[in-house]
């Protein structure tokens, strides 16, 4: 076991050396003004409340927003790169006065590459195709820009470590999948569970695996990429949306929790981590301490996520009530009910609070299971193999019967709630909004509960009451997931922030930044 840990540490030391920021002698550091940075940081914190996203995705999402605003404004890639990096630093996603100006050149090359891709698609495939692929291209570009700014080679060491362990513990049973496809699906599941990769990150990952020239020598691959971009995107989407995705993700999550605890324990003192490989009791003790520390951190994160979700839901619901619901009931139906209005506005945040009260932190049994699990991962033994099979193919009668029962499970809970709301004089629009927000809150609740379960390695016990509860709540959760994934694109608050506030605010801050730099130059001339 200690030999395996020592090997992991050797790889981490090598990766850490590659992650270090290299500054050439005499090279200036990227610096933003403290005053403008404070304003940008405040704006970013407000926006994260409105745009509900996972914390580890915020920097990449900020790069995407900035890139989308500046990508087509000129062909001066160095200027665009400088604006992107300085805005990211101002927003607090990168440390100020730490990164060398050579980063601007590195990011500029990435921006130029994706501009050539977009321009090539527009020229050879037409403007319509280019616009349809615009967000997809920028999504991948954002991933590569983030990787260029913050390489995260140590994270890749843990991904490789976990992947090798999962290959020894999972056997995919399929008559249609090649060995290469099985390995890819397992690798994607590891990234989903350990790194929490979203769709653009997975797309970029597959692109690098299938077409390494896109990073190493993109000019060689660029003509082929432009010509086959739609096919390449479809092939990537096929792998990301594979029917084994959820099964493999469920298998990997428990092990990812153990690797995360081990990773954070090593990161706590990377130089001194070698002592852990020499002393089993010390390792066990440190794992226990890290578990308790992570439990406390998770509690704080949960509170933050809960309040962000409550504020997001309440503000969105209030806006829709003022714009649609109340005017519709008062001036069109002439049946306005204060009871219905109050229930419709207060119920979603109250439901979120109720869900929050049911969340529990892990027990001592879980901590001991964590210690045993990490020891098992580091032991070098093959471990118990789990067989993962593709979804059974059913005949048309069985398929139709199961889907009919599934449809009924959707209809019954919604029908019962609609009947109750009609009895307390809800209008049809009020009922629709009530169901929408009840579904969104249910989905948010599941996501937040998922954060609490990230540290739980004990297998969940199934019981009849839990199955009945899932039967009635699943329709709302699935509906909430659909609404969150599709309607987030038309979030009116995001539109207001991105186009009516952020764009002019960043122009003003940029002008102030340039003026302050000019003022500093004049001041230096005097002294």
Print the SS3 string covering 330-372. Answer: HHHHCCCCHHHHHHHHHHHHHHHHHHHHCCCCCCHHHHHHHHH
Burial code of 125-157, b = ≥16 C-beta within 10 A, e = fewer? beeeebeebbebbbbbbbbbbbbbbbeebbbbb
Whole-number pLDDT of residue 486: 63
d(CA 197, CA 156): 12
N- to C-terminal Cα separation, the chain: 63
Q: What is the pLDDT of residues 24-44, one digit of tens each?
A: 777 888 888 776 666 666 766
Q: Which residue ranges of the chain lie beneath pLDDT 50?
A: 490
d(CA 198, CA 217): 26
- Alpha-carbon distances of 104 from 37, 80, 112, 340, 465, rounded to whole Å: 18, 9, 12, 55, 57
Whole-number pLDDT of residue 53: 65
Torsion sign (Cα): 43, 46, 52, 55 = positive
What is the 3-state composition of the chain as percent helix, strand, coil, each rounded to the nearest 5? Answer: 80, 0, 20
d(CA 376, CA 368): 12
**93 closest CA partner among 133, 127, 53, 137:** 53
Whole-number pLDDT of residue 48: 64
Whole-number pLDDT of residue 465: 56
- What percentage of the chain carries pLDDT values higher than 90? 31
| Residues whose CB falls within 8 Å of the CB of residue 371, separated by 6 or more in sequence, listed in order | 284, 287, 288
d(CA 421, CA 431): 7
Whole-number pLDDT of residue 505: 60
Whole-number pLDDT of residue 279: 83
* Contact indicator for 24, 105 with CB cutoff of 8 Å: no
Provide the H-helix boundaries in 379-462. 396-423, 428-453
d(CA 197, CA 364): 30
Task: Please identify which residue in the block is written with the tokens 């976990």.
Answer: 162
């Amino acid at each position: 076991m200690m030999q395996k840990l020592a090997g992991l540490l050797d790889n981490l030391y090598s990766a850490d050396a590659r992650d270090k920021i290299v500054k050439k002698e005499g090279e200036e550091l990227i610096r933003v003004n403290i005053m403008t940075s404070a304003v940008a940081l405040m704006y970013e914190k407000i926006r994260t409340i409105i745009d509900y996203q996972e914390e580890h995705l915020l920097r990449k999402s900020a790069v995407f927003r900035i890139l989308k605003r500046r990508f087509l404004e000129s062909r001066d890639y160095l200027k665009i790169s400088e604006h992107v990096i300085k805005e990211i630093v101002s927003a607090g996603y990168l440390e100020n006065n730490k990164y060398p100006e050579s980063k601007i050149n590195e990011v500029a090359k990435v921006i130029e590459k994706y501009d050539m891709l977009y321009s090539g698609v527009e020229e050879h495939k037409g403007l319509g195709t280019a616009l349809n692929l615009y967000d997809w291209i920028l999504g991948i570009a954002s991933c590569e820009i983030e990787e260029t700014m913050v390489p995260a080679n140590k994270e890749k060491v843990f991904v490789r470590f976990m992947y090798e362990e999962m290959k020894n513990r999972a056997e995919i049973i399929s008559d249609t999948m090649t060995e290469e496809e099985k390995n890819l699906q397992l690798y994607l599941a590891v990234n989903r569970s350990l790194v929490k990769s979203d769709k653009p990150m997975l797309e970029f990952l597959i692109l690098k695996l299938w077409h390494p020239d896109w990073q190493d020598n993109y000019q060689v691959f660029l003509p082929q990429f432009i010509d086959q971009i739609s096919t390449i995107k479809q092939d990537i989407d096929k792998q990301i949306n594979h029917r084994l995705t959820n099964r493999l993700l469920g298998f990997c999550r428990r092990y990812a929790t153990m690797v995360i605890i081990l990773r954070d324990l090593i990161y706590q003192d990377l130089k001194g981590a070698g002592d852990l490989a020499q002393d089993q009791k010390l390792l066990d003790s440190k794992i226990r301490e890290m578990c308790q520390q992570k439990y406390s951190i998770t509690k704080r994160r949960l509170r933050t996520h809960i309040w962000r979700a409550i504020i997001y839901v309440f503000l969105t619901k209030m806006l829709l009530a003022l714009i649609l619901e109340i005017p519709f009931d008062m001036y069109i139906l002439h049946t306005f009910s204060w009871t219905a209005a109050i229930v419709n506005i207060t119920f979603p945040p109250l439901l979120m609070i109720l869900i929050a009260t049911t969340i529990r932190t892990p027990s001592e049994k879980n901590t001991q299971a964590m210690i045993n699990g990490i020891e098992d991962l580091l032991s070098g033994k093959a471990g118990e193999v789990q067989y993962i099979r593709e979804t059974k193919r059913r005949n048309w009668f069985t398929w139709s019967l199961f889907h009919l029962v599934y449809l009924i499970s959707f209809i019954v809970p919604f029908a019962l709630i609609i009947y109750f709301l009609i009895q307390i004089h809800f209008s049809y629009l009020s009922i629709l909004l009530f169901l929408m927000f009840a579904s969104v809150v249910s989905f948010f609740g599941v996501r937040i509960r998922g954060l609490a379960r990230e540290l739980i390695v004990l297998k969940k016990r199934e019981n009849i009451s839990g199955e009945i509860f899932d039967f009635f709540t699943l329709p709302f959760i699935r509906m909430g997931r659909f609404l969150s994934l599709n309607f987030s694109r038309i979030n009116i608050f995001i539109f207001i922030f991105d186009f009516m506030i952020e764009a002019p605010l960043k122009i003003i801050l940029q002008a102030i930044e340039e003026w302050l730099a000019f003022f500093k130059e004049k001041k230096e001339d005097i002294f």
